[in-house]
Amino acid sequence: AQRVTQPEKLLSVFKGAPVELKCNYSYSGSPELFWYVQYSRQRLQLLLRHISRESIKGFTADLNKGETSFHLKKPFAQEEDSAMYYCALRGYQKVTFGTGTKLQVIP
């Protein structure tokens, strides 16, 4: 079975503060991990994937197989980062999403 856990439903930070959205996973094989973002009134879109090891909009995420985590980080939050963030795991034929974390950046 594959499972994704996002422990925080809501994360509120002030503009300019660091952000860390937590994601832990459970999967017996070698997972592919993703972060998706959903801005207000828009469709979900890919933010980043662990295999590309890139930084998108200032966000980064490192896959830690020992801790089975894939936390999303940004050093300085911006108001436009306010959105729903979903961690996702692609296992065998299925993509499983976490319950999502709403990030609220306070001006």
Partner 1 sequence: NAGVTQTPKFQVLKTGQSMTLQCAQDMNHEYMSWYRQDPGMGLRLIHYSVGAGITDQGEVPNGYNVSRSTTEDFPLRLLSAAPSQTSVYFCASSLEGATEAFFGQGTRLTVV
> Which residues of this protein are in contact with partner 1, per CB under 8 A?
6, 9, 32, 34, 36, 43-46, 49, 51, 86, 88, 90, 93-100
E strands, the chain, are: 3-5, 10-14, 19-21, 24-26, 32-38, 45-49, 60-61, 72-74, 83-90, 95-97, 101-106
Neighbouring-strand partners of residue 83: 103
What CA–CA distances, in Å, run from 47 to 1, 27, 38? Answer: 25, 22, 9
Nearer to partner 1, 35 or 107 (CB): 35
